Amino acid sequence: MMGPAHSLSGAAAWLGVGAAAAAAGHPMPWPVLLAGALICAGAALAPDLDHKAATISRSFGPLSRWLCEIVEKLSSTVYKATRLPGDPRRSGGHRTLTHTWLWAVLIGAGTSVVAVTGGRWAVLAILFAHMVLAIEGLLWRAARGSSSDVLVWLLAATSAWIIADTLDQPGNGANWLFSEDYLWLGLPIVLGALVHDIGDALTVSGCPILWPIPVGRKRWYPVGTPKAMRFKAGSWVEVRVLMPAFMLLGGVSCLAALNFG
């Protein structure tokens, strides 16, 4: 899928978690619902760090382009080192390592560790990075182009600072779900990555979500829906069906999470 659909699906997924938590009698504080939805929207773009033409590769200027090259080479190396006889030979690492459940869990766990041990500036850095991605994804066309990069970064930095200040207020959710402040920050990142993978599994190429678990003669088995139900990224199914559905589900879930209606 394309960036906007990935980001919308990530936000809708976290709002759905918020609705489920409210239904279970443990509603999220509204700052956690808001911050988590934005983080998840940003994290839903992150697996494409293995693709130099993806939104994330240009979101942070030369730094993200350089990181993209490293991740792509790492992914390609891991693919070649772990492929089974049934896995095709390929060049490049797109839709391999970063599109797996293991990557999602490791990135989420690593983020939680950094947030807990790194203090306020680490939390701000995590929030800033994901606010940039959320803006780039949700405001895809408006945020494109080098002339808007500085504005996106300023908006993301301001949002990160305000959100961190709000979460730090008593009862607003810095220690939501866990006793350690901000340990929960890894959860929307795991969810965003997994939602990205599921979205890609709906497209014609499928997605090797299960790696390193082998399926038959393949370790990089492209999980997906029946081929007749798959679509090309950016097709009318994605734009006219899935994106409106994500917006509707997100809106309904948000109201349920906030106990409206």
H helical segments located in the chain: 3-23, 30-43, 55-58, 62-82, 101-138, 149-168, 186-201, 236, 243-257
C-alpha 224/C-alpha 230 separation (Å) is 8
Q: What is the pLDDT of residue 146?
A: 54
Give CA 240 to chain center in angstroms: 22
* Buried b or exposed e, range 154-192, using 16+ CB within 10 angstroms: ebbeebbeebbebbbeeebbbbbeeeebbbbbbbbbbbb
Q: What is the crossing angle of helices 186-201 and 3-23, to 10°? A: 120
| Contact by Cβ (8 Å): 199, 1 | yes
Q: What are the phi and psi torsion angles at 113 (to 5°)?
A: -65, -45
Which pTM value belongs to this model?
A: 0.94
Q: Within 13 Å and on the Cβ side, how many CA atoms surround 84?
A: 12
Look at residues 210, 181, 192, 176 and name the one whose alpha carbon lies nearest to residue 117: 181
What the block records as the tokens of 239 is 């734009």
What the block records as the tokens of 208 is 């090797």
Q: Determine whether 103 is exposed, middle or buried from the number of CB atoms within 10 Å of its CB (0-12, 13-18, 19+).
A: buried
Q: What is the pLDDT of residue 33?
A: 97
| Contact by Cβ (8 Å): 42, 129 | yes
C-alpha 60/C-alpha 46 separation (Å) is 12
3-state secondary structure 222-260: CECCCHHHCECCCCHHHHHHHHHHHHHHHHHHHHHHCCC
Q: What is the pLDDT of residue 147?
A: 54
Q: What is the pLDDT of residue 144?
A: 59
C-alpha 171/C-alpha 209 separation (Å) is 37
Q: What is the pLDDT of residue 211?
A: 97
Q: What is the pLDDT of residue 229?
A: 85
C-alpha 103/C-alpha 105 separation (Å) is 6
3-state secondary structure 64-90: HHHHHHHHHHHHHHHHHHHCCCCCCCC
pLDDT tens string, the chain, 261 residues long: the values are: 788 899 999 999 999 999 999 999 889 999 999 999 999 999 999 999 998 888 888 888 889 999 999 999 999 999 999 999 999 998 888 999 999 999 999 999 999 999 999 999 999 999 999 999 999 998 865 555 555 778 899 999 999 999 999 999 999 999 998 989 999 999 999 999 999 999 999 998 899 999 999 999 999 999 998 888 888 877 888 889 999 999 999 999 999 999 885
| Contact by Cβ (8 Å): 153, 190 | no
